[in-house]
Every structure is written in C-alpha cells, then in structure tokens.
Amino acid sequence: MAVSVLTGIAVFLIAVSGFSLTLRIAVSIVVVIAGAVILKYVFASDAASTGEAPEPNDLEDRQLFVDELETLEEAAVYFAASMEPEEMLRLVAARLSKGGVKGVEFYLVDVKDGLSRVGPQADGEYRPLKHLAFKAFTNAAFVHEDAGRTGLFEAAMPLQRGTEILAVIAVAHSKEINEEDLRAVVTRIEPLIANSISFATSVTNALKDSLTGLPNERAMHLILENQVAESERFGPDRPLSTVALDISSFEAINRKFGHSTGDRLLEFVAERITDQLRKMDFVARIKNDEFLMILPKAGKEDAESVVQRIKADFEVVPFEQPGTQNLTVKLNHGTATFGDDADSAPELLQTAKERKQVGKGRDKGSVIKFPGSQDS
C-alpha cells in the first residue's frame, strides 16, 4: 500500500511539473512500472514466506499475459487517460513481447485509411500479421491460424467500445493461443485504448475550429511560437512569414443573406485557402471571419507566391449562391516577415493584423494581394 501511495504522489508531482508533455509521460511510465515491479517483488516474497505453491506449468503462458497486464494496469491508473492511442498501444505491445510471445502488432482503425499498424514489437522472426488483423476486423471476431512454416501460432481479435471496433491486436506465439487467452488480454486493453482515444479526441477538439475544421486561435499560437523558435535557431536560413486575412464586407453578407450563408462562406474560404497552401504551411481561423496563415521557410517573395495563388483561385472559383448571383470573394490582408518586420511571435502577429487594418482603409474590399515590405 505504501509503495502505491508513494508512486501516486511521485506521478502527481511529475504531472504538475514544468517539464514537456513527452518528458512527463516518459518519466511517469518509468516511475509507475518501477513501483509495480517493487510491488510484484514484495508479493512474491510474501508468497514464498507462506509456502504457497507455484502455478502449474500448463498455465504458464496465460499467466504470463496476466502478470504483464497487471503491471500495465497499475501504470494505466495514473497515465492512461493522458496518452495518445499510438503511445498506449506501443506500451502494451512492449509489455506483452516477452517469453513465448514472438510478435505483437496493433492496428488502429482509421475511417479513411482502414487499419493503421502500430509497432510491431518482436523478439524474433515472424511474418507480418496484417492479413490476420484484417480478417479479425472484417469478421469482428477472434481468428487464429495453426503453426505453419514459421512454427508460430497466430491469433487476432478486435478491441471494441460497445459495437465500435477501435483497434485490432494480432499475436504470434510459440504455443497455441485460444480465444480465452486472448480475450483475457483484450478485456484489459479495451478500457486503456478507449480512454486514450477519448483523450486524443478532446485534445484535437480543443485545438480545432468546430465550423471550418481548421486549427483555432489556441493552436495558432502554439504553432507560431514553435516556428519562431525554429527561425531564431537557424537565422536567415529559415525565414518565416505570416499573413492576416479577413473577408471583405462579411457583416453585410451576413445581414443580406443570413448567418447560414455566412457560415457556408467561412467554410468555403477555409477550404479554398487550404487547397492553395504548401504542405508545410498552416492556416487557422482566429475568430469571426479572421484567418491567419503561417508560412515556414517563406521570405517575402515566397509569401507573395503563396498569396498570388490564393488571389488567382478566388478570381476563378466564386462562392455559389443557390437561386441568386454567385459571389466573388474579396479579402483584406496584411503580412509580416520575421526578422524584417518583427522579432517575436506576438510582434509578428500584431504587425500582420495592423497592416491588414491599414490596408482595409486604403483599399477597402480589394482581392487579396501581397503588399511587400512597405505595405501598411
């Protein structure tokens, strides 16, 4: 009991520390697993002192699964709800890859990409198990294959939350694995992966704009700080530019056509801007009709090229208005480049916004264009 209490206190202190999330998770894992190992040693010593008999040999493999997962469950009490699904499944795979287990693979279910492998973790040669995982997924049931030329028994089973399949576990073992064995493992893993997915979803939602699906202002600040740090580190070799945008006459459009049309317009603008950006670029919806683009490795000329692509796209792709005339979207904008116009993330953001406001007064309702270093 004392070991569990001390372990919990240690993990709490780590959680509220100023370390990075990755470091806090890693240290917490080490602390909790160390505490679990100590508990296991204490219990083993108590059993030896009372003369308890060891488990029969025919239960060795099943007991191996249970022992490892009991250790994992101790750790899960402290950090399962704050780990990404991939991290959680890698941890589980590492705990299971011992003894007669020759390979463990997890496959997360992705709506777009189907089954996405996490791992594998293995201590020996075995063939990939995706064929078996896919069979378990499509049948929503336990599947297995007898030892073939590899000499290993293979089995797979879905991990579910209700009727929803979240992932699939596939195992290669030196001895046959029956459904009861794997079910004991799956039953313990399912709450862990469900909690991890809920955590990942909550984090994603906290950083995403619900209307457009773009990152929100909070996510923008995180990305901008990171990109500024990279530019500070590499200097002139890694330029960085930002572009502040809003939709010209957006309030008038809302009043004339209604807020549902305004929402559709925001979604349209978000989609068209995203389609014209490079893979490394980033666009967020800040609030109302305001957007911000972060353009890594983009000096003034590169930023102009990106903006010109957006300008040309809005000229040829109008916003469709059923039953009335289509609208050509016009944007107000302001740009700023790190080093030339600002020396910090807040300054970079503020300069871009101020230039956008000045531009609105000077050339109200213009199609987006790149103003250059002198633009105000």
pLDDT digits (tens, 9 = 90+) for 291-331: 999 999 999 888 888 888 898 899 899 998 887 788 899 88
Rounded to whole angstroms, how far apart are CA atoms 29 and 37?
12
| Closest of 329, 287, 310, 327 to residue 370, by C-alpha | 310
Q: Would you place residue 282 in the very low, low, confident or very high pLDDT band (cuts 50, 70, 90)?
A: very high
pLDDT at 351 over 70: yes
| Residue that wins the pLDDT comparison between 30 and 183 | 183
pLDDT in tens, 211-230: 999 999 999 998 999 999 99
Mean pLDDT of 110-136: 68
Contact in structure between 159 and 138 (CB atoms under 8 Å): no
Please report the pLDDT score of residue 151 as a whole number.
Answer: 79
- Mean pLDDT, residues 126-146: 86
Measured distance CA(342)–CA(348) in Å, rounded = 5
Domains assigned to the chain: 55-206 (3.30.450.40), 217-362 (3.30.70.270)
Contact 330, 366 (CB under 8 A): yes
**pLDDT tier for residue 279 given thresholds of 50, 70 and 90:** confident
Report whether pLDDT(9) > 80.
Answer: no
